[in-house]
Amino acid sequence: MTITVRALGTLPDLVADDDLIGLLLAAWPGGPCDGDVLLVSSKAVAKVEGRVRRHVSREDAVAGETERLLASRGGLQIVRTRHGLVLAGAGVDVSNTETGSVVLLPVDPDASARGLRTALATRTGRNVAIVVTDTAGRAWRMGQTDIAIGVAGLEPLHDLTGQLDGWHRPLAVTAPTVVDELAGAADLVLDKAARTPAAVVSGLSPLVLPSGVHGPGAVAVVRPDGEDLFGLGAADAVRAAVRRTPADRRGFAHPGSPELAELVEMAAARQQWVRAEVLNTDSDPLVVIRADPDAVPGANPGVDADALVAAGAVMERVRVLCWAAGLRSSTVAAPAGAICAEALSLAPYTDRRYVDSTEGDRGQVQQGS
């Protein structure tokens, strides 16, 4: 297979309600062919959709586009946007726009892609797929690359699960994100300083869907909160586990089946005054903490000051670890001879809408966003 990637010509500075398709066609030597893929920067789309904001600080703009804060270091904020995208600064951009203004992401990039595809087909009769791109970093890697945030006319993922590799073994987890690969390829030929916000990839017509069939859009590659193993930065996860508000739960992936004994052993590690154990009951299991008779001699070790302090510390660790694992807990009366006890619910938190009473709708999960 041979593909070609080429940039379209320079566009004028775009403003709200500009005819973006008309301008792209004028910058497209020879015009489109069936099976082409047109990639357009989100900034170009956002400008013609009126997403430029003036006389607003970048900080306020980021706050307005943030659905959930994942990590912050100094002035840098990594957030999840209303679209479900994880981006530095919510994708708010101050480059290639007037001084004192900021450019927000399109409200619905998939809808933008569908609109561009329909408009192009109406004018040219050609079946062309559309990808709206934006620049993003990657976990544990330096630098940035372009990704697809809006798609029409392509399946975002090329699922190879079940096909055989070169050794005739079935592929288990192999699903290239074709639209992100295309976005990265297009970025290689674009000049961010020369007003060339669009590129064309040719040679992939087998991947382009029939006219009028747009596909699921880029939203199909957004991982839901409950499946994200990296929902918070390390320091931010510690803070969230200490706060333990309903909205904070969203930064933690839903676990499989956490072993209670393992969690309790972890909570009681590296202290010498108490012992912790899990007692199975007819209802919920109990975590029970008793003074260690080897470390606290006497007729009534349960009232020893060191044991009481250690028991409180260990039980708080139990609560934090269980909360992070998605298990509910509640304090109950301690059985005879124990210092304290906590009942645990084995029914995990479900992927419902968590609303923090102090934040209202800003704490809601937008499932599948």
Domain range summary for the chain, segments of one domain joined by +: 4-51+106-222, 255-348
Any idea which of 158-172, 251-265, 280-294 has the lowest mean pLDDT?
Answer: 251-265
What whole-number distance in Å separates Cα of residue 292 and Cα of residue 227? 40
Contacts of 37 (CB under 8 A, 6+ apart): 128, 129, 130, 131, 153, 154, 182, 200, 201, 202, 204, 207, 208
Instruction: Catalogue the long-range contacts made by 7-11 (C-beta closer than 8 Å, 24 or more residues apart).
Output: 7/189, 7/190, 7/191, 7/196, 7/198, 7/199, 8/196, 8/198, 8/199, 8/200, 9/196, 10/194, 10/195, 10/196, 11/44, 11/195, 11/196, 11/197, 11/198
Residue 113, pLDDT > 70, answer: yes
Residue 195 CB: number of other CB atoms within 10 A?
16
Residue 326, pLDDT > 80, answer: no
Residue 26, pLDDT > 90, answer: yes
Q: For a pLDDT cut of 70, what percent of the chain falls above it? A: 90
Q: What pLDDT, on a 0 to 100 scale, did the predictor assign at position 286?
A: 87
Residue 272, pLDDT > 90, answer: no
Across 351-361, average pLDDT: 34
| 358 close to 344: Cβ distance less than 8 angstroms | no
Tell me if the pTM is above 0.85: no
Residue 194 CB: number of other CB atoms within 10 A?
11
For domain 4-51+106-222, give the CATH superfamily.
CofE-like (3.30.1330.100)
